[in-house]
Structure 1
């Protein structure tokens, strides 16, 4: 006779488990419940459970798991998904000190013969190349679809060229944000080369590049990582620190909420990245997009200074640096013509959201958060409304980030705004206009909606009331 075990639950009822069959109370509807897995290996051997667990395990933990037994070793190195996401951004082996010393020793790459033939790229890339070569010997490298190298001084042009063109690599999503030794000009040349019209069929393998956003925003961590903290953690053979690969909701929503400036590149001056992004359009996605829809929609109301900036590169779009949220114009609620809508537009029109997804699929990297209508709890179409700074002059509030389309407000038609800009430019201090100077008698027509980057209705009034003193300017 098989043994029987009784269990008393918190509500006072009892259950009897006999040979894997659980009878709960006397409920006739519950006849059989399968016995739960009895080992960690059974959990990992379930594809659904493994996919959800692996994204939270750093390489150091996976490496220790492989050393636990021959069974785990075989599973780790015979399951391609185990290594499809590889974060080396905090690897001790790939770390290069800010001021490297040639005679420091302690790393295998430094033991190589160093003479006048060793280039600067080869010297800096040595630590990371050593790690990647070891992964290649373990036959791991071809399985890597997502490679995160943020902040590493070991990332150089020669190494990036290998990752993008060498058949040993199968990287789909690459993150090289804030890598100090990346040469921007040579990186742009590389990207334009692998996206050239005469490229071989099936190339490039690279589908997404993270370069413009701040990796510190991914997990709310500090920009700086102390050398002592990196070097003191007891990792595995490659010394990788634990990292979380889950994508925080607040970070992914930055492009899809009125969050204002989301990137720094291209905010004050036009850059050569604009031509590169345009050459890679539809081939490689980036963590930024070009300002196409907004510029075409507001051509009639662009500030004269903005027109000069646009004419400097005719036919080349600027980089979108400001996120305005999906709600649309503050007056009519419309989005610019051609603004991407998720599910209707091509996925190449959407920016990569950080951190990179564990799956390594481009669609998972650009999929926006759900947009829900609060009262009815129904899903609304998710719209990407972004702009460059030049398209928003005098039509966008830098504080609350509301904006107006050309149909609802054209600053070029406001003589009041022109007069106020002239007065403000001729005064040493910021000019504070009165309410009558900003509004027309009928509340329409020549009214000013934005002055000095603040909306007149809310933010500018509040600022002036706070600093008006006893004059009661806005009383």
Structure 2
């Protein structure tokens, strides 16, 4: 390529260095590169090395899930004097925690020697082997400056020990300025990697055979269709229904979120149903009436919200009200609003991690310059116990405690008789309203009860499992 004589010589020779010398350009370019690529860039010249290692924003975000050394099950065999010692199979002095966390500890040790670890504020460890002891070190070791940590889909993690470490770090007698961690992603699924979905074309048959040609074209059409489809709706504010792929969360997480409220934010929030002590509507609904109406007895005092729902199908709201983004710009937002995936790319601020798409972080200026007619980002967080017998998984409609008590209400203005034409739940899981059951024709002709698609795959039922079981008991009594 011929040089342009109109440009100065130093620009012609060091064009990339001149561009990256702008700290704003460098800080917005580095997050798109892996740590390996950034270090290779620093090794090209002394000027770029000085620029990379003396700009703190370069290593503000570290995605360790892309590092090959972190994905290995065993650390390198050679031990170093300054780093984490290698883990040898059969060593009696090595615990399981040391063995599983050795690869990540070795990486962090090398980054600490390069004086890079102290600049990392957003750390992603999704899908890696992570132990509770390693997270405890990140919370308490002053060499770490992590503000947002992502542990989605990690392996070998003792959640009970992690909850204990988080509760200890957020205790009232903690030192001032600790913990540095302000946001933790752990409940949601890890981000999808496009390279993982791509598969190699079949090599068993000849490329000229009809089967191979059809398979290749099916793969290409699938990739094109996937690329053309819109992105998955944003959790909590846009996507309704169940938010997490887990079947059931540990009971320790509710007490952990309560202990960390105001200190550490999570990608989940506590349920605001009126049966919980933390609810703003606690005491406004008669618990005895809910128990008499067949609502689940023994609901925990605090519970993690697993579902995001719209307003009640009857009154359009909920006893505890809506969770509306931007209605309160105080520091009490930590714990009220969930962190939204993925973690922020160019910031380590909690407001940026919580802000829904199309909205701005809450501030005085953003409240004054709010567009007229802009739809508010809001949702109602509920746990499964507060939605049982009053939520339809087919259409995501639900009925609050003030509009519908339960299937066995003793009578009154809120009895099931007033809403018999509206809702009839699945006997097994308490899901699906009457409209959805009628469409799928999952009705028991004996008792009129319904079954959802998950618990019965038949097109029409002469008798449900409950009626069949009752008839069997009657027959046994007649025989004996």
Is TM more than 0.5 here?
yes
Q: Does 1:61 align with 2:34?
A: no
Contact 2:65–2:127 (Cα < 8 Å) also in 1: yes
Match for residue 184 of structure 1? 159
Q: Deviations over 1:422-449 (max 9, x none)?
A: xxxxxxxxxxxxxxxx9x7xxx554342
Match for residue 453 of structure 2? none
Contact 1:212–1:288 (Cα < 8 Å) also in 2: yes
Q: Shift in Å at residue 182 of structure 1?
A: 1.8
**In the aligned structure 2, how far is the partner of 1:342 from the partner of 1:259?**
16
Q: Shift in Å at residue 352 of structure 1?
A: 1.3
Which segments of 5 or more consecutive residues in structure 1 lack a partner in the other structure?
A: 6-17, 21-34, 226-247, 417-437
Gap change, CA 1:470 and 1:402, over 3 Å in 2: closer
Q: Does 1:167 align with 2:142?
A: yes
Match for residue 131 of structure 2? 156
Higher strand residue share: 1
Match for residue 353 of structure 1? 340
**In the aligned structure 2, how far is the partner of 1:166 from the partner of 1:176?**
18
Match for residue 41 of structure 1? 17
Q: SS in structure 2 opposite 1:253?
A: coil
Q: SS in structure 1 opposite 2:62?
A: strand
Q: Shift in Å at residue 355 of structure 1?
A: 1.8
Match for residue 463 of structure 1? 440
Contact 1:152–1:179 (Cα < 8 Å) also in 2: yes
Q: Shift in Å at residue 263 of structure 1?
A: 1.6
Q: Shift in Å at residue 290 of structure 1?
A: 0.9
The residue correspondences of 1:173-322 to structure 2 (distance < 5 A) are 173-216=148-191, 218-219=192-193, 250=231, 253-265=234-246, 268=248, 271-293=251-273, 295=275, 296=279, 297=281, 299-300=285-286, 302=290, 306-310=295-299, 313=300, 316-322=301-307
Q: 1:132 aligns with which of 95, 98, 108?
A: 108
Q: Which one scores higher on RCO, CA 8 angstroms, separation ≥ 6?
A: 1
**In the aligned structure 2, how far is the partner of 1:332 from the partner of 1:257?**
20
Gap change, CA 1:306 and 1:48, over 3 Å in 2: farther
Q: Shift in Å at residue 46 of structure 1?
A: 3.1
Contact 1:411–1:448 (Cα < 8 Å) also in 2: no
**In the aligned structure 2, how far is the partner of 1:395 from the partner of 1:181?**
37
Q: Shift in Å at residue 332 of structure 1?
A: 3.2
Q: 1:385 aligns with which of 361, 380, 391?
A: 380
Q: Does 1:74 align with 2:50?
A: yes
TM-score, scaled relative to structure 1: 0.69
Q: Does 1:364 align with 2:352?
A: yes
Q: Shift in Å at residue 50 of structure 1?
A: 3.1
Match for residue 334 of structure 1? 317
Contact 1:258–1:402 (Cα < 8 Å) also in 2: no
TM-score, scaled relative to structure 2: 0.68
Contact 2:70–2:107 (Cα < 8 Å) also in 1: yes
Give the aligned CA root-mean-square deviation in angstroms. Answer: 3.8
Match for residue 13 of structure 1? none
**In the aligned structure 2, how far is the partner of 1:252 from the partner of 1:135?**
36
**In the aligned structure 1, how far is the partner of 2:136 from the partner of 2:398?**
42
